[in-house]
Structure 1
Amino acid sequence: MAFLSSRRKKARLAPELDDQELGRLLKSLLATTRTGTIATTDLCVAQISRLLDQEEGDWDRKGHRISVLADYLAASHLARSWTAREPRNANALLLHSWTQLAVGRSQGRLESADAVVESCLRAAEILPQDPTPWVILLGVARLERWEQSQAFGVWNEVLARDRWNREAYLNMLGYLSPDEAGSRMQVLDFVDALGARMPANAPCAATELTAQVVQYQAVLDRGGFEALVARNHWSQTMAAQALDRVAHTWAQPGFLQHARALADLNLLAYALLAADRRREARPVFEALGGTVTEWPWRAGGDPVTEFDQGQRRAMAGQ
């Protein structure tokens, strides 16, 4: 994670975050996929395969890379082509499955949930120690509104392989929300149970703050008087405590080391500004080095513009 001097870098969207190898691969894919030839497909597959093979056993990094690649390749046939060529390649199956999930999220439904489930289970057979197939299945559970017994069964499979898997916790947070298959009380119970035993710098450390930001943005979305006083959310005990627990530790060099640490710092910067705690937001922006994530900034408009304006306010301390 890059920490800055007082000189600010230009704000920019970077789905790879600080993963430089992934960033180079995305640029290479952009340059080589335009022709659509067989040779191009072979080259792209080789590059992706090489990158994913590097992180075998680092499930946090692998999950980050596959999720970013899946979003990037959602409109292409590359992942499908790779699976067709290598049907016993677990990473090909996982990338294809996550790509289908990315398309399903954008459309509100999966084209074929059964096909995604089958691909994930085949990958799980090939790599039984890998939590990634089960993480993808949690995403399927959300879109398909699986019964809670099924969703929790998949959840337990993830935890057996990767106790603090970031994507899994955020998926369960969404699944248990009143907008999906749960209730506000279930969200509170889930967050409370996590906080009681989670290491402060675990990959899933942002689960509690994510829940608070989601609730805050829901108030903004209702508009009217509620939106005008939405800032009051951050003076409530649970929201204030969630911020207090992380405001002075996350931006410290080396404290957060997981693959999506910069995404969590974006969340923290946003929440501190929403709570009008601008001085505390300043070191967070400095730690980000201009790296912007779509969420949560897109709730206010263009993410880069929102981030840049927030950064200026934090640096001014006003």
Structure 2
Amino acid sequence: MPGQQDIQIDQVERLLQAAGADWDRRAHRFAVLAEAAAPSALARSWRMRRSRSADPLVFEAWVELCRGRHTGRMEDAGAAVDRCRRAADALGGDPTPWVVMLGILRLMRADSRELFPVWYEVTARDPWNREAHLQMLRYLSPEECGSRSSQLDFVETVRSSAPSTAPVVGVELTALVDEDVRIVARGGVEALLARRQWAGSRATRALDTALHWSRPGHLRHAAALADLNLLAFALVRAGRVRETADTFRVLGDTVTAWPWTLDGDPLDQFGHWQSRALI
């Protein structure tokens, strides 16, 4: 369709500009739009048409990061980092370029001496940035550049210091789901007993604390429905299906691929457990 890309670029610009200095909503929009644009040339076209604007630089770097996550490597990570640094110089207090840079360094398995200064730049601008905290959680995992103890220390720091309605409230449950996946991947008898972790004191406390997320209007961050999907999934894994009813009512028909995809087709899994919970 002639002019379709121009229309798409205008729409992306408006959505990002409308978020203003709401860094949480701005990062969420960047993440969703970049994932959607990854198969196309939209990001490059936008940068070529707005060569003096910072947002297209960040957007193209985030699109390249999305592609890198899918393939396991980035074609030119150095160029993407350079775009982030140029955007960061232009945008000042905006944490978004630093968030993308953090993701790129994580994908590159960069040394902590290179990654942590970027982490500090993000949190100096937005202390409870959801995307950055999830990036750090996975970076500190034993599968990547950390260990189980370093990951647990990070989770405990977030749990003990973050406000109860901060965008990072899902970090602890994310870590528990990741731990479940880690145990199952080992196979053997240990995998058969993986569900026992959900009966432990750490998981029980995290789930009990998270139950109030379902109160209408309690969570207001941009990815609140993603965290409610996470809560429903974790409660199912813990065998607490009856307690998911309020969460499923709030969610309605909003399904996120992760973490439901861990057990099969997300729509099938969500629909099955929602119907069980709301009987």
Distance 1:220 1:287 in 2: 30
2:205 counterpart of 1:205: no
Q: Which residue is equivalent to 1:298?
A: 261
Runs ≥4 residues deviating over 4 A:
none
Q: Deviations over 1:185-231 (max 9, x none)?
A: 10011111112211011001110111001101222333443333222
Greater alpha carbon shift after TM alignment, 155-164 vs 86-95: 86-95
CA shift at 1:68, angstroms? 0.5
Distance 1:207 1:88 in 2: 36
Correspondence list, 1:119-134, <5 A? 119-134=83-98
Q: Which residue is equivalent to 2:217?
A: 254
2:78 counterpart of 1:78: no
Q: Which residue is equivalent to 2:233?
A: 270
Amino acid at match of 2:151: V
Amino acid at match of 1:264: D
2:32 counterpart of 1:59: no
Distance 2:20 2:56 in 1: 14
Distance 2:236 2:193 in 1: 14
Amino acid at match of 1:155: W
Distance 1:223 1:262 in 2: 32
Amino acid at match of 2:259: P
Distance 2:33 2:142 in 1: 30
Correspondence list, 1:24-103, <5 A? 35=1, 37=2, 39-103=3-67
CA shift at 1:67, angstroms? 0.5
What residue ranges of structure 2 are gaps of 5+ in the alignment?
none
CA shift at 1:47, angstroms? 1.3
Distance 2:192 2:248 in 1: 26
Distance 1:119 1:126 in 2: 11
Greater alpha carbon shift after TM alignment, 190-199 vs 179-188: 190-199
2:113 counterpart of 1:149: yes
TM-score (norm 2): 0.97
Distance 1:101 1:51 in 2: 20
Which residue of the other structure, out of 189, 204, 225, is the alignment partner of 1:240? Answer: 204
Q: CA RMSD, aligned part only?
A: 1.1
Amino acid at match of 1:143: L
Distance 2:103 2:148 in 1: 20
Distance 1:123 1:64 in 2: 18
SS at match of 1:267: helix
CA shift at 1:271, angstroms? 0.3
2:140 counterpart of 1:189: no
CA shift at 1:96, angstroms? 0.7
CA shift at 1:46, angstroms? 1.1
| Kept in 2: contact 1:273–1:314 (CA 8 A) | no
| Kept in 2: contact 1:278–1:314 (CA 8 A) | yes
Distance 2:69 2:195 in 1: 30
Greater alpha carbon shift after TM alignment, 175-184 vs 40-49: 40-49
Q: Which residue is equivalent to 1:226?
A: 190
2:101 counterpart of 1:137: yes
Q: Deviations over 1:108-131 (max 9, x none)?
A: 011101111011011111101110
Greater share of helix = 2
SS at match of 2:278: helix
